A = this chain, B = another copy of it.
Amino acid sequence: MLLNMRDDEELGRITLAQVAQEAGVSISTVSKVLNGRQDVAGQTRVRVERLLEEHAYRRTTRAAREAPLIELVFHELESVWALELIRGVEKVAKAHQASVVLTESGTRQAPGPEWIEGVLQRRPRGVVLVFSALPTEVKQRLRSRSIPFVIIDPAGDPDPDVPSVGSANWNGGLVATRHLIELGHRRIGIITGPGDMLCSLARLDGYRSAMSMAGLPADPDLVRYGDFHVEGGRERAEDLLDLPEPPTAIFAGSDLQALGTLEAARLRGLRVPEDLSVVGYDDVPLAQWSSPALTTVHQPLRQMAEEAVQMLMRLRVREPVTTRLELATSLVVRQSTATPAA
C-alpha cells in the first residue's frame, strides 16, 4: 500500500476563509488554532478543529514558516533502546540541517495529549513517534497542518494508515533458535516478551517454527512470558533452570532478559556458555560489554530511526512512501553460546 499525500490534499479544497466563516470567527482566529496558540477560547478551538477535520483541511503554505526541527516523541527514555533511536534520528536530522526536539510523553501505546500543542507552535519539518498507535485526533491535527509523521514501532503493531518502521521479529526468533539447534541443543527454553505485545508473539512463533522444522517437540514448560527487563529475566530463567529437566540453552528474548539469565546461571554455579547457552535480542551496546559477551539478535534500531527520518523527508516533498517498512534482523554470534556439554 502506498500513501500519497497529494491524494489527501486533493480532498482538502476548503480555504481558511471558508472555515472561519462557517465557524463564525475571524481568519486570524482559525490561524491561531492552526498554530497551536493558547489565546483562543476552548470552545472556539474545539469548533474550529472539528470543522478542519470535517473538511479535511490541509495547510498548503507549510514551508514558509517551518522550523528546521525534527520532533522525536518517546514513551520512556528509560529504555535501553532510546539512545540508539535518538542517535539514528540525530544523525539523519543533522544531515538535513535540522535539530532534534525530544519529548517524553504518554504510555507504551500512545503519546499523551500535552505534547501536541507544542508541536503545532514549533512547526517542525516532521514528527517521529516511538509508539504503536496514535489517537485519531492527533493524526488529524498533524495532517491538517501538513506536518508529516512516522511511527517507529519495534513492537510490530502499527496503525495501518500511518507510515511506520519496524523490524522482522518472527525471523529474529527463528534465527536465534536455529543457531542453538545447530550447536546441538535439544531442550531450548524461551523467555519472550509480554503476551500483549505482537513482537513477543512473533518471536515465540519463530522459535516454535525452528523447533518444529528440526523435528523437536514444543514443550510448553520451556516457554515463559517476560517483561523485557533484567529482574524479570532472572526470575523466568530461575524457573526454567529449576525444572526437573532443565534446558541446556535459553533464548532470552531481550538483552536485558539475557543479563538476568546470566545472573540466574551465576547464582546456581553454572558457567555460560559451558553449562548453559544464552541468546539475547536487540543487540544494544551492553550486549557486547556483558561477560561473556552476548550472542544476540541484532535489531537495527539506529537504522530504523534513520529510515523513519528519511521517510519524513520524502513525505515532506510529497513523494509516495510505503506505509510499513520492516528492516531485517540478524544473528550476532559472540561468547554466550556453545555446544552443550555431553
Contact = CB atoms under 8 A, between A and B. Distances in A.
B259 A291 contact: yes
Contacts of A260: 289
A6 interface: no
A256 B102 CA distance: 26
Contact of A94 (B78, B82, B104): B104
A100 B102 contact: yes
A13 B296 CA distance: 63
19 contacts: A69-B101, A77-B87, A78-B87, A83-B83, A87-B104, A90-B102, A99-B101, A99-B103, A99-B118, A101-B101, A102-B102, A230-B288, A256-B289, A260-B289, A262-B291, A263-B292, A286-B286, A286-B289, A290-B290
* Chain A interface, >50% SS class: helix
A110 interface: no
Nearest to A255: B289
B122 A99 contact: yes
Interface string A270-309: 0000000000000001101111110000000000000000
A286 B80 CA distance: 10
A67 interface: yes
Given A259-B289, A292-B266, A102 B86 contact: yes
A100 to B, nearest CB: 5
A90 B100 CA distance: 13
A184 interface: no
A68 interface: yes
Nearest 9 A/B pairs, CB to CB: A263-B291, A262-B291, A230-B289, A259-B289, A100-B102, A83-B83, A77-B87, A99-B101, A286-B286
Contacts of A94: 104
Contacts of A285: 80
Contacts of A290: 259, 290-291
A30 B153 CA distance: 46
Nearest to A76: B87
Contacts of A80: 285
Contact of A266 (B90, B102, B291): B291
Contacts of A67: 122
A253 to B, nearest CB: 15
A132 to B, nearest CB: 22
Contacts of A103: 90, 99-100
